Amino acid sequence: MPMEITIDEFQEVEMRVGIVKQAERIEGTKLLKLLVDVGSGTRQIISGIAPYYNPESLVGKRVIVLVNLKPRVIRGYESQGMILAAGCKEDEERGVKPSVLTVNDEVPPGTRVC
């Protein structure tokens, strides 16, 4: 059974709409380096979705970004957030590829997801 959290704990998670401005593969890895406009500025986000996405196909997409995740260095690159996707490691083991969560409407970057 999944761990339950309170509504107050959920409200501490800050997700915002971001627009992917640039995307490129990090050579020799399964990582993409993305520059994402999250309304208050541009974030560099390192994501392990390179086996599933052509970088160019992500440019211009409105994605959901976890913006209050503590930055961390991945393979020498600072990641300043997380792109959300449906499908995790346990799903991959069942043959489900990650699917980046996107917004179809013209929602401005920085719009809070709640």
| Distance separating alpha carbons of residues 64 and 41, to the nearest angstrom | 15
* Mean pLDDT, all residues of the chain: 94
The average pLDDT across 73-93 equals 90
Q: Computed from CA positions of residues 39, 43, 87, 49, in that sequence, does the dihedral angle turn out positive or negative?
A: positive
| CATH number for the domain formed by residue range(s) 7-104 | 2.40.50.140
Model pLDDT, residue 113: 95
State the pLDDT at residue 78: 98
Every domain of the chain and the residues it spans: 7-104
Tokens of 43: 């974030």
Identify the residue whose tokens are 């709640």. 114
pLDDT class of 95 with cuts at 50, 70, 90: confident
pTM: predicted TM-score of the whole model, two decimal places: 0.91
Q: pLDDT tens across 39-64, in order?
A: 999 999 999 999 999 999 999 999 99
Q: Does the pLDDT at position 20 exceed 90?
A: yes
Output the six-digit token pair for 38: 């999250």
- Contact, 81 vs 9, CB < 8 A? no
